[in-house]
Amino acid sequence: MDALDAKYPFFATAREAVADAAVSLPELVAADAPAVERARERVERALLDGTVASESGAFPAESAYDAQAELLSYPIARILVSLLDSDPAIEKYAAAEAATAIDRIREDLATDDELRSMSTPTLALEDVLAEFDLADAIRAESPRPSGAGAATATGAGGAPGRDPEHYWIAVGPYLRLTSPSWGESWRLVNRALADGEVRVSREELLDALEAAVEDRVREGLPFELAAGEGIAAELESGVADLKRLLSERTYAGPVDVVAPELFPPCMRNLIDKADRGTDLSPPESFALMAFLVGIGMTPDEVVAFCADTSLDAEGIRYQTEYLSDDRGTQYPPPTCETLANYGICHNEEDHMQVAADPLAYYEQRVADAEEITDWRERNANAGEVEGE
């Protein structure tokens, strides 16, 4: 098993490496091997943060896990997400695997050719296209001549020493890998089309390849596993922890009132912590962002609300958009019990007697309040005063 297999565990060569190793996944799970812990982290980070990269550091040089544990964590993670018994969880997991993979592919493609020829395990674009049977469907656009003897791009790699800015994709693969829901610019009527090929930029090509990875990861999920038996029984506690963290419950709809003075104590504590300039841990950030989205705030409003705190605006926007999209809204904030397990909730003011989760607590506080001034209204009024 090498580092390249561990970086891209959904590639055919990686699957072959797992098969050749003749490793028993049930035995690994029973022994709670490092690959099992990495698999739990893989799924948790996928569902909470939209990435499967390890928190311990960049793969592979700084990661706490070796290549074998990293590679074997992938099939175990697929079992874990299957046991969650949630279609949205599968969608989010596949999207996170794809997002992480495309970031790694970008890094590989940016690697200098000299480094690529040495010991650094990297992919070339041709390798990625071949993996998804796209080598004959995608070609690089010839760069504009810059003088006598200018090179002409051939194949997907383009001219020597230059990355092509545009590519041409056969119409069939283009329609299969892209979606008009990505925006008007992706509609076929709005693209340059010639001889059955569609013109795309380099970044758009990577977007299409990300979709190909997502399809590959989603394929075959969920597995049919009998609950309480075999490997499913061994993973039962890990699955239960994930379910508690995600608190898969439904609500009638957001309160759509932003009154910080009525927020649950745990959420006020997190906001105060960020106001002091202290970084929030991933579970803390997820809990706060999920709460703010859950009460009806838009990503722009959350960015404005958290201005001048330790929270990064770009990170806020990414996480809130992730929570607000069609695949994210099924997960409200974790319950108070789960937040207590993470050291976030301390049952201040005995608020668990009022409600068992932050949204329900806030709903009750809003219902009991005699008069409320929405933060958005106060913020808008302050802006008008400053503008005068």
What's the rounded mean pLDDT across residues 318-346?
A: 73
Domain boundaries, the chain: 3-114+222-240, 124-216, 249-387
**Residue 168, pLDDT score:** 97
C-alpha to C-alpha distance for 278 and 276, rounded to whole angstroms: 6
Residue 98 has pLDDT above 70, yes or no: yes
Write the pLDDT tens digit of every residue in 351-367: 777 777 888 889 888 98
Lowest mean pLDDT, pick from 16-25, 145-154, 278-287, 341-350: 145-154
Residue 128 has pLDDT above 50, yes or no: yes
This prediction has a pTM of 0.66
Task: Give the length of the chain.
Answer: 388
**Residue 248, pLDDT score:** 43
What's the rounded mean pLDDT across residues 220-228?
A: 83
* Banded model confidence at residue 252, pLDDT cuts 50, 70, 90: very low
DSSP 246-285: HT----S-------GGGS-HHHHHHHHHHHTTPPPPHHHH
**Residue 29, pLDDT score:** 92
How far, rounded to the nearest angstrom, does the alpha carbon of residue 161 sit from its chain's CA centroid? 32
**Residue 2, pLDDT score:** 79
**Residue 250, pLDDT score:** 42
**Residue 332, pLDDT score:** 62
Per the omega criterion (within 30 degrees of 0), is the bond before 60 cis? yes
* Banded model confidence at residue 329, pLDDT cuts 50, 70, 90: very low
Residue 239 has pLDDT above 60, yes or no: yes
The residues, any chain, with a CB within 8 Å of residue 332's CB and separated by 6 or more, are 247, 249, 251, 290, 294, 357, 359
The answer to whether the beta carbons of residues 168 and 138 sit under 8 Å apart is yes
Residue 273 has pLDDT above 60, yes or no: yes
Structure tokens at 135: 């080598």
Count CB atoms within 10 A of the CB of residue 252. Answer: 6
> Strands, DSSP E only, in 84-196?
138-140, 166-170, 193-194
Count CB atoms within 10 A of the CB of residue 338. Answer: 20
C-alpha to C-alpha distance for 268 and 247, rounded to whole angstroms: 20
The answer to whether the beta carbons of residues 82 and 232 sit under 8 Å apart is no
Write the pLDDT tens digit of every residue in 285-304: 989 998 998 888 999 999 99
C-alpha to C-alpha distance for 195 and 170, rounded to whole angstroms: 9
